[in-house]
Structure 1
Amino acid sequence: MNLKKHIVIALFYFLIVSLMGILLRFYVVTPLPINHKFLLHAHSHTALLGWVYLGLTTLIYRIFLQSADKPKLYSRIFYVTNISILGMIITFPIQGYALFSIIFSTLFLFASYWFAWFAMKYVPEHFKTRFSWRLIKIALWYLVFSSIGPWAIGGVMSTLGPTSIWYKTSIYFYLHFQYNAWFILGLLGILFFFFEEKGVQFNPQNLKSFLYLFNFGGIATFFLSALWFQPPKIFYVLGGIGAVVQMLAFSDLYGIIKPGFPIIKREFGQYSWLFLKIAFVLMGVKLLMQLISAHPYMANLAYRLKDFVIGYLHLVFLGIIITTLIAFLKYFKLLKLSKSFVWLFLIAFATTEILIFYKATAFWIGLPFFAEYYIFLAVLSCLFPVAIGILFFANIRDTKVWPLKNLGN
C-alpha cells in the first residue's frame, strides 16, 4: 500500500478547502452566486475531516498499524471515509445541513468509529506499553467523544430548533474536542513516538503529570466555548481554571521535551523544524488567549466581534495543527516539502491573520478601518491555493500517480 497516494488525496481536499476559502472571502467583495452559509459548512467540514483527519489517521496507520498486516481492512475504512468526505463536499454547498449532507456526515462518524476500533484492536502488542500509543489511544477516544456534538444537533434541531443555545453549544462541543484533544493529542503521540525511536528517556512521573493536567484542562476549557450565551458565573470560573491548568500542562510538556529539541532540529530539517517552532510559539499564544477569554468582558467581546473567534480558530488550525502535521508527514516520508510552498504559506497565514485581528481590534478600540480591507484580505488569501497547489502537484509528481482516479490503489 502506497500511503503517499493517500496523502495526495488529503492534499487534494486541502486545495479544495483553500479554493472554498477564496470564494468566501470574495463573497463580501463582489456578488457571487453562492450561499455563503452553505459553503462555510463545506469549507469547515472538508478542512477538519478531509485534510487533517486523513493526514493524521494515515500517519497513525503508517507508524503504529502497518505492521499489523491488515491492509485490506484499512483500505475499506479509507474508501468509506472518502465517500463520506466527497459526499459532504458536494452536498453542503448545495443544501447546507439537510438530508443528504447529514447522511454523509453520519457516514463519516461511523467511518471514524471504525478506524478507532481498528486501531485499538489491531495495534501490535509491542506498542501497547509505549507512552506514544497511550496518547494516540486517548486521542482516539476523544475523537469518539467529540461526536456527541453532531449527534446532539439532530435532536436539538427537531425539538428546540437552530435558534436554541444548545444548537451552537453542540457545534462548539464537537469543535473543542476536535481541536484541543483529538488533533493535539494525536500529534503529540507522534512526537513522542519519534523521541522513543531516538532513544530519548523521560521521567514517567512527569509524563503522568502532564497527561492528567492535559485531560483536566481540556475538559474544563470546554466551558469557555459556552460563554457566548452569558451563562452562570461558575462557567467562567471553571473555564478559567481549565485555561490555567492547560498552561501548566504545556509548561510541563515544554520542560519534558526541551532536551530533545536538538534531535528534532537535526532530524527534521530546516523547514519542518521552522514549522514546529512556529507551532510551539503559537501554542503559547493560544493558551494565553484562552485564559484572557475567561474574563466576562473578553468573552462578551469575542461573541460580539466574530473576527476574534475566526482569527483564533485559524491560528490553531493553520498555525499549530497544520504546520505540525506537515512537519510529521515530511519526516515520515509521506510528503515532499518545497521552499516555495513554505514561504508562500507562511506569508498567506501571517498577513491574513494580521488583517483578521486588526479588523476586530479596530472595531473594539476605534482604530481607523480602511475601505479596501476586504479586497486586501481576499487577494492575500489567494496565496493559500497557490501555495497548496504547489505542494499538491509536487507530491503528485513525487508519487508518480496521475490521474487522480488511480490514487486509491
Structure 2
Amino acid sequence: MKIIEFNSKKWIRIALINFFIVALAGVILRYKINFPLPFLNQKFLLHGHSHFAFVGWVTLALMATMVNYLDKSRVMTSYKKYHWLLGANVLTAYGMLFTFIIQGYAFLSITFSTLSILVSYIFIYHYWKDLRRIKENNHISIWFKAALILWGISSLGTFGLAYLMSSHTKVQELYFASIYFFLHFQYNGWFIFSCFGLLFSYLMENTPSNLIKISRKLFLTLSITVGPTYLLSITGFKIPSFLFWTGAISGIIQLTALVYGYQLLKAIRIRPDLSLTKMTTLLWSLAYTSFILKVILQSLSIVPYFETFAFSLRPVVIGYLHLCFLGLISFFILGYFNALLSSKHIKLNKSGLLLFIFGVILQEVVLMIQALNAILNEHSPNTAIVLFISAIAMAVGLAMLINSGKHKTSIIKKAIA
C-alpha cells in the first residue's frame, strides 16, 4: 500500500511550513541588524537558517516531487521507505535548526548534519534503483540521475570542512574552498538538475520530439560545465593558470545554455495542451529570468574587475545566493506546486504568492543598490530597514500559502485519490 504521494496534505504543508520558518528566521536576522536582540547569536542563527533552508525546504520539496514522478510513472515499489526517508530528512532539518541556533558548529549540530547526509545517501541509493525501473523517457531520467550524483558529490565539501575544523587547520582559503564546493554542487548540481528533470517530466506527457532534443542539448551543456565552473568560485585564491582557464572556458560554454533555455521557452509557449495558469507562468518566467542572471553573473566572474567585487562585497554574495535560492529554485518549486494543483482545479493563494514575489524582488533590488553604493564608496541609507520589510513580506506571503492549503484539505485529498 502506498503511503506517500506528492500532492498529499501532509507533505505539501510540511514543505510550506518549513519554508515559512526559513523566512521567519530571515525576518529575525534582519530585525537583529536594525534593533537590539542580545539573547540571540547572529552567526548561530544564520547557520541554522541556511542549513534548514537547504534541507528542510528545498531538499524536502525536491525529494517529494521526485517520488511523485515515480508514482506517476507507475513504478512498482515500496513507497513506505520514502515516507520514512522524508520523515528522517525533516527530523535532521529541525535538529540542525535548533542545535545551530543554540551552539553553532558543535557536536550536536555536526551530528545532525552528518545524519542528514546519511539520509541523502540512502535516498540516492533507493531512488536510483527505482528510477531504473522506468524504461521509457530516458531523457528525463538522466536529469534525475545527474542530480543524485551531484547531490552526493556536494557532501564532500561538508566532510572537507569538518576535517579542517577537527584538525584545526588555519588556512582560511581551504575553509572557503570547502564551503564553495558544497554550495556550488548544491545550487548548480542537485538543485538545478532535479528542477530541470521535474520541468521536463511535466512537459513530456505527449513526448514531443523538439522538447526531447532541447532537453538533451541543455543537459549536455550543463553536465560538462557543472564541474569545471566550480573553479570560478575560487579564482580569488592562488590557483594555477590552467585551472583558471579551465573554469573560464567552461563559464563561456555554459552561456550556450541560455540559447537552449530560450528555445525551451518558445516550445512551451506553443503548447496549448499545457494550459498553464497565469501564476505558474509568472513564477516560471521569474525562475527562468533568475537562471539567465545566474549564468551571466557566474560567467562575469571570469573578468578580474568583476571577480574582485563578487567575492569581497557581502551584498553581492548574499544577492547572488538569494537569486539562486529564492529567484531560481524556490520560484520554480512553487510554480511546480501550483501547476500540479491547478490541473486538479486547485490553486495556491494568489495574494500570498504575489506578496512573496514582491518581497524577493524588493530584496534583490536593495542588495543591488547596496552593492553599487559599496563599489562607489557611497553610503546606503535606510537599506537595512527596507531589507527588513522585504523579509516580512516574504514571511507573510508564505504564511498565507500555508493557510490556503489548510482550507482546501478535502479538495486536495480528492484530487490525489
Whether TM exceeds 0.5 here: the answer is yes
The within-5 A match list for 1:26-175 is: 26-32=31-37, 33-65=39-71, 67=74, 68-123=76-131, 125-127=133-135, 129-161=137-169, 163-175=171-183
**2:360 maps to which residue?**
349
Q: Structure 1 residues 31, 161: CA separation in 2 closer, same or farther (over 3 Å shift)? A: farther
**2:29 maps to which residue?**
24
TM-superposed CA distance for 1:137, in Å, is 1.1
**2:376 maps to which residue?**
365
**1:5 maps to which residue?**
10
* CA contact 2:232–2:301 (8 Å) conserved in 1: yes
Aligned residues: 400
SS in 2 for 1:147: helix
Letter in 1 for 2:105: Y
* CA contact 1:264–1:273 (8 Å) conserved in 2: no
Cα RMSD for the two superposed structures: 2.2
TM-superposed CA distance for 1:259, in Å, is 1.6
Q: Structure 1 residues 247, 27: CA separation in 2 closer, same or farther (over 3 Å shift)? A: same
Question: What are the superposed Cα offsets for residues 355-408 of structure 1, whole Å, 9 maximum, x if unpaired?
Answer: 1111111010234522x221222123211110000011211232269xxxxxxx
TM-superposed CA distance for 1:338, in Å, is 1.6
TM-superposed CA distance for 1:69, in Å, is 3.7
CA distance in 1, matches of 2:312, 2:67: 42
Question: Does structure 1 residue 339 correspond to structure 2 residue 350?
Answer: yes
Letter in 2 for 1:295: V
TM-superposed CA distance for 1:130, in Å, is 2.3
* CA contact 1:22–1:382 (8 Å) conserved in 2: yes
**1:271 maps to which residue?**
279
**1:388 maps to which residue?**
398
SS in 1 for 2:228: helix
CA distance in 1, matches of 2:303, 2:46: 29
CA distance in 1, matches of 2:390, 2:290: 21
* CA contact 1:210–1:252 (8 Å) conserved in 2: yes
SS in 2 for 1:229: coil
CA distance in 2, matches of 1:199, 1:237: 39
Percentage of identical aligned residues: 30
* CA contact 2:154–2:186 (8 Å) conserved in 1: yes
Q: Structure 1 residues 198, 21: CA separation in 2 closer, same or farther (over 3 Å shift)? A: same
**1:305 maps to which residue?**
313
* CA contact 2:77–2:130 (8 Å) conserved in 1: no
* CA contact 2:200–2:215 (8 Å) conserved in 1: no
Aligned equivalent of 1:189, options 180, 197, 213 = 197
TM-score by length of 2: 0.90
Deviation larger for 305-314 or 207-216? 207-216
**2:408 maps to which residue?**
398
Question: What are the superposed Cα offsets for residues 324-361 of structure 1, whole Å, 9 maximum, x if unpaired?
Answer: 11111222229841210121011111111111111111
TM-superposed CA distance for 1:210, in Å, is 2.9
Q: Structure 1 residues 53, 265: CA separation in 2 closer, same or farther (over 3 Å shift)? A: farther
TM-superposed CA distance for 1:127, in Å, is 4.4
Aligned equivalent of 2:289, options 281, 303, 307 = 281
CA distance in 1, matches of 2:285, 2:217: 24
TM-superposed CA distance for 1:265, in Å, is 8.8
TM-superposed CA distance for 1:23, in Å, is 1.1
CA distance in 1, matches of 2:273, 2:362: 26
TM-score by length of 1: 0.92
CA distance in 2, matches of 1:44, 1:265: 39
* CA contact 1:236–1:296 (8 Å) conserved in 2: no
CA distance in 2, matches of 1:140, 1:153: 21
* CA contact 2:359–2:393 (8 Å) conserved in 1: yes
CA distance in 2, matches of 1:232, 1:124: 40
CA distance in 2, matches of 1:243, 1:124: 32
Letter in 2 for 1:299: E
CA distance in 2, matches of 1:129, 1:200: 11
